[in-house]
Amino acid sequence: MSGLTVALDAMGGDFGPQVTVPASVQALLQFPELKVVLFGDLSAITSQLSLLNQTNHPRIQIVHCDNVIANDTRPSQALRRSQGSSMRAALDAVSDGTADACVSAGNTGALMALSRYILKQLPGVDRPALVSAIPTLGSKRTWLLDLGANVSCDADTLFQFAVMGAVLAEQGTPNPTVALLNIGEEHIKGNDQVRRCAEMLADLDDINYVGFLEGDQIYTGKADVIVCDGFVGNVSLKTSEGVANLFIASLKKAIAEHPVKRLVAKWLFRDLFETVNQLKPDQYNGASLLGLRGIVVKSHGSADITAFTNAIGEAVNEVKRQIPTKISDRLEEVLLERHY
């Protein structure tokens, strides 16, 4: 591939250019074919670049933007007041073909609303989904979607999510298994949407549908793709974070009360914290907005340099694998298969 350009919302996230600029430099080291366009405040960006002695990096371009979309801006407000903002400008670059993908650590709702408005959905996609890879037993990873972009979904929408998730999972796993998250494994369990989507998927040769999965099996690696509506997915992901935090707090407390345990704590905590951090997958990997006519990766607002670099890496991988085209092709195939 001859060159690959990622548009970065340099101002997004809790730390703005302090994280996005060093992460860009790191990503450029990892991907020799990558070019980066930084959208945001020129002086803030250049001062970060000069700290890194990278003011004249041949693969970095800066586009000054006057505005930033704040974290508490509502999606509807973001749509009206996005002109001149770094997020909007980065998405416009994808829309006009100047960039191949956009990465932002900014306001999720605003990013979703602007992405839909500027890039539009792919044909066959009713609603884009937010997806992320979560760690599982046996060092596999499982794609979980939707993570909160769509609070309620009908069977058709869940079906589209399943197809989109399968395409994304094929990056690493041939013929990935796809499951629906439910409150029991028997076919009578769950709500109408989930049961009807299960029937639709079971009828399909093109998707390796393996049935229902319960919450306690999300992290077992039993499926490569797990599909649910955004309310359930968001609660499940955030519950995981909460449990990890409770676990760490309980362990710290138990250890703090015991001097010898305290001595070995740091030594043991290395492993513990690694596991816990993996339970914050959007922070770790970035989450993708799937189903748009363009690649958009959402990094966690509190992402550090490594996490934001990972998010850029996810965008690069999706560009290389032409995920939107593949989703579009696959949806056309399965819709044909369903109708004939």
* Residues within the interface to its own copies (CB under 8 A): 74, 135-137, 148, 151-152, 181, 183, 188, 190-191, 214-220, 228, 230-232, 234-247, 249-251, 254-255, 261, 264, 267-268, 271-272, 274-276, 279
Cβ–Cβ < 8 Å for 28, 57: yes
Cβ–Cβ < 8 Å for 144, 151: no
Q: Kindly tell me which of 204 and 231 has the beta carbon lying closer to its own copies.
A: 231
Q: In terms of DSSP H, where are the helices of the chain? A: 17-30, 42-51, 75-80, 86-95, 108-119, 155-169, 192-202, 230-256, 259-278, 281-285, 305-320, 323-339
CA dihedral 158, 301, 308, 103 (to 10 degrees): 60
At position 126, the amino acid (one-letter code) is D
Q: Kindly tell me which of 165 and 230 has the beta carbon lying closer to its own copies.
A: 230
Nearest-approach distance from CB 152 to its own copies, in angstroms: 5
- Using alpha carbons only, give the angle 231, 236, 240 rounded to the nearest 5 degrees: 150
Cβ–Cβ < 8 Å for 310, 136: no
Nearest-approach distance from CB 136 to its own copies, in angstroms: 7
Q: Kindly tell me which of 42 and 251 has the beta carbon lying closer to its own copies.
A: 251
Nearest-approach distance from CB 305 to its own copies, in angstroms: 23
Q: Kindly tell me which of 290 and 331 has the beta carbon lying closer to its own copies.
A: 290
Gyration radius from the chain CA atoms: 21
Cβ–Cβ < 8 Å for 38, 61: yes
Q: Kindly tell me which of 105 and 255 has the beta carbon lying closer to its own copies.
A: 255
Q: Kindly tell me which of 1 and 260 has the beta carbon lying closer to its own copies.
A: 260
Nearest-approach distance from CB 236 to its own copies, in angstroms: 5
Q: Kindly tell me which of 33 and 241 has the beta carbon lying closer to its own copies.
A: 241
Strands 129-135 and 141-145 turn out to be antiparallel
Nearest-approach distance from CB 117 to its own copies, in angstroms: 18
Q: Assign 295 to helix, strand or coil.
A: strand
Give the whole-angstrom CA distance, residue 249 versus residue 128. 36
Nearest-approach distance from CB 266 to its own copies, in angstroms: 13
Nearest-approach distance from CB 44 to its own copies, in angstroms: 28
